[in-house]
Amino acid sequence: MNKFREQILHDPSSSFGNQGFSEDKQLFITKSTNVSGILDSENDIVLDGNFNGVLYSKKAIHISPTGIIKGVIICNDIKVEGEFEGSVYALRVNLCKDSVLKGNIHCTIINTEMNQFVDANIKLISLETAAFEATSQDLFAHLKEVFAKNNKDNNYLNIFQEKMDQVKPSNKFFHQTIYVAPNPPASAPPKKKDEDDYIDLDADE
């Protein structure tokens, strides 16, 4: 069994934080860097710059507050503090304060904080199957082939969705769309209270 999956099964409420990131083995994409294409890493990835394409890590991916990604992400654990548009396929997803995410999320566990903007279709994948291990490698192979032929369009997103559709029968999916406004609307000026504004909490229903 995948060690990450085993950890989730035994402690699904464990904190996200930086526990999945090994400081001695990290790939950094700096703030001044723009990358387009396919990035495949055995180690953790920390993105401070811009990335457009397919990002794959067998470990964790961290999009910092200055990081912007458009495309597909496949990994074990992802922490989003910046902006992402596209599709995420991960065991665990952490959406931090002030982050922006638009697209599709496929995961086993998702954690959200207040004051972020999320416009996404979220599909929760059952932990009881080995679909993640079986599918992620096959999925990435297809993405890599399509993207190598033409990295100027979004064909890889279509391939991603096709592969996810094939996995559906062996998993339990829950569909929902959540919207969390980054800035609450300005509060209206308080009105003068009168007797009708008070509710007796002790009154019988």
**Both structure tokens of 16:** 């996200």
Q: What share of the chain is helix, strand, coil (3-state, %, to 5)?
A: 20, 40, 40
The Cα–Cα gap between 68 and 142 comes to 24
The Cα–Cα gap between 120 and 145 comes to 26
Give 42: exposed, middle or buried? Use CB within 10 Å, 0-12, 13-18, 19+: exposed
The Cα–Cα gap between 84 and 90 comes to 14
Portion of the chain with pLDDT greater than 70, in percent:
49
Per-residue pLDDT band at 75 (split at 50, 70, 90): confident
Q: What is the pLDDT of residue 19?
A: 47
Average pLDDT over the chain, rounded to an integer:
70
Portion of the chain with pLDDT greater than 90, in percent:
20
Q: What is the pLDDT of residue 114?
A: 76
Which comes out higher in pLDDT, residue 67 or 117? 67
pLDDT for 201 beyond 80: no
Q: What is the pLDDT of residue 84?
A: 95
pLDDT for 42 beyond 50: yes
Which comes out higher in pLDDT, residue 160 or 79? 79
* Of 25, 10, 55, 11, nearest in space to 37 by CA: 55
Q: What is the pLDDT of residue 116?
A: 75
Taking only the tens place, the pLDDT of each residue in 119-160 is 888 877 665 555 555 556 666 666 666 555 655 555 555 666
C-alpha of 88 from chain center: 5
Structural contact between residues 182 and 98, judged by C-beta atoms closer than 8 angstroms: yes
Taking only the tens place, the pLDDT of each residue in 90-117 is 888 999 988 999 988 888 788 888 777 8
> Which stretch of 15-19, 53-57, 97-101 has the lowest confidence by average pLDDT?
15-19
Consecutive H or E run containing 68: strand 68-80
Burial 176-203 (b: 16+ CB within 10 A, else e): eeeeeeeeeeeeeeeeeeeeeeeeeeee
Burial 147-164 (b: 16+ CB within 10 A, else e): beeebeeeebbebbeebb
Can you say whether the dihedral through the CA atoms of 125, 133, 65, 39 is positive or negative? negative
Domain ranges of the chain: 3-182
Q: What is the pLDDT of residue 149?
A: 61
Q: What is the pLDDT of residue 194?
A: 53
Q: What is the pLDDT of residue 26?
A: 86
Q: What is the pLDDT of residue 109?
A: 84
> pTM above 0.75?
no
